[in-house]
Amino acid sequence: MRYSLLPWLALAAPSLAAPTLSQTTVKASTGYYSGNINATYTNVREFLNIPYGQTTAGKNRFMPPIKVPMSSNSFDATQYAKACPQYVSAVPAIWNKEVPQYLQYWGNDELDAGESAVFTSEDCLSLAIWTPANATSASGLPVAMFMTGGGFQTNGILVPGQLPPHWVELSQKHIVVTINYRMNIMGFPNAAGVYEQNLGILDQRMSLEWVRDNIAYFGGDPSRIMIWGQSAGASSIDIHNYAYWEDPIAHAFFAESGSVLAFPISQYDVDHTNFTTVAKAVGCDSTDAEQELECMQQVDYNDIINFMGHHQDNATLVKADADQPRLSFSAIPDERIVFSNYTARYQSGMVTKAPMIYGNTANEGAAFQPFPVDDPLSGINQTAADQSTIGIMCCAAESSTLRDSIGLTTYRYQYAGNWTNQDPLPWMGAFHSSDLVMWFGSYPEGEGAPTKLEGQASATMGELLLSFVTDPYNGPEALGWPAFDPTARDGGTMLRFGADGKTVQKVAANDVQAVCTDPSASYDHSP
């Protein structure tokens, strides 16, 4: 079902001089880019479509990304790029039933679930940039670079809850970049005829290299880039943490509800049967890996995406059907980009030495339970939801302990906000993704006006994150967010946002994640 872009909460912003036309056109190494002044936040300049990679169609399909060339041509960056190929699932979930602001936006026309999404393209390797309107090449502002989640299956730049102009308007002290990257079978094919399987991660790295080389033209400081992701995006930036440990580019990392330790990396399709299943279904039945690949590079990508999506939906909706195994296309260990033993990487010191944030929501698992279509108010299996939450949380706890063992700076938080305008069903609570709109300041008005506490919590979170982007070693400490010490008597100090009528409070890790070390401990999903 389609939906309209949700209205953003407008707060008073600093009054600055009006930008000149030249400030909305920027020369970078790959061309001149003309952007907009945001229609709602007029102290924010935006460049919504800057390609960092060439088309991935034809012979480039299932291949590593190719950089866009150096250029002095002019490009229109006033409209969002098309999203990378993806499927609109028909499986009922909180996302498509209650909170579509966390999904890729497709426009105002009706779009049925269960089909390849329109407004997608294989020429999708693009990024978007938001800066203060009067930023210049001399500004030297820190940069928050965001990589979307979506299970490595869906989403992109144009996700309403992940648009940052409100946050940039309030701070006037930083730049935000978000990116498209290939997902599902297009980004993680696991095909016998392909050498590099983790193409989506290579896309991300190429986009980061473009930002390093060009963000100064837009007013950014290439030595102060924080890479940040949520869910699959969090796992992605954690992958970067190890894959590029000798040259991370980023000076800070933020993994929101995800880590590499949460990956089922020991369970993947070693015989490449998933890719072959799709290939046979679209007319590319060959026992020769190269011929299979060449055929798959010529098929209409919508046919590929539609078969994969329908097959996955059927396997989910008819779980007992042994003839409909769920096809899986995600990051897999290749021992170059993704590794099968991350503990060993820590022990060998092969991990980025930059500071990191690991965060979780208090009721992550509510988003993963079967949606009660017949009676949405009836609730879900909360015990199963808690197990999902505990799994995600304990992976963050383990990562934090491993980091501490080699002296790396880590910050931890739990988001526990539960707001009527954000959580329309009483059992949702602080579900997986619900902290996104608080970091971005993009929470919707929805049913019921945002509360004063909600706005204060979002502003506090934004200020703390900006302190980390600016100076990840000292910034959070200066604002009262101590580095996490898992060896402390209380298990370390975390911040908790949005609970108990408070914007933020310090809590002992033992009170949050005792279940990670003591199976008999209880877990409270609504602190």
**Catalytic sites, residue numbers:** 231, 364, 432
Q: What are phi and psi of 330, to 5 degrees?
A: -155, 180
Give which of 445, 314, 383 is closest to 40, Cα–Cα.
445
CA distance from start to end of the chain: 33
Give the C-alpha separation, 480 to 471, whole Å. 14
Class of residue 40 by CB neighbours under 10 A (exposed 0-12, middle 13-18, buried 19+): exposed
Give the C-alpha separation, 182 to 53, whole Å. 11
Give the C-alpha separation, 99 to 200, whole Å. 26
Joined together, the tokens standing for residue 64 give 């590593």
Joined together, the tokens standing for residue 227 give 């890479």
The residue type of 175 is I
230's enclosing H/E stretch is strand 220-230
Indicate the Cα dihedral angle 378, 381, 383, 384, nearest 10°.
-150
**Sign of the CA dihedral with 374 first, then 379, 383, and 389 last:** positive
Give the C-alpha separation, 356 to 483, whole Å. 10
Please say whether the beta carbons of 227 and 145 come within 8 A: yes
Q: Which residues pair with 130 in a beta bridge?
A: 46, 176
Q: Say which residue the tokens 């490449």 belong to.
A: 272
Joined together, the tokens standing for residue 322 give 């042994």
Q: Say which residue the tokens 């402390």 belong to.
A: 488
Q: Please count the residues of the chain.
A: 527
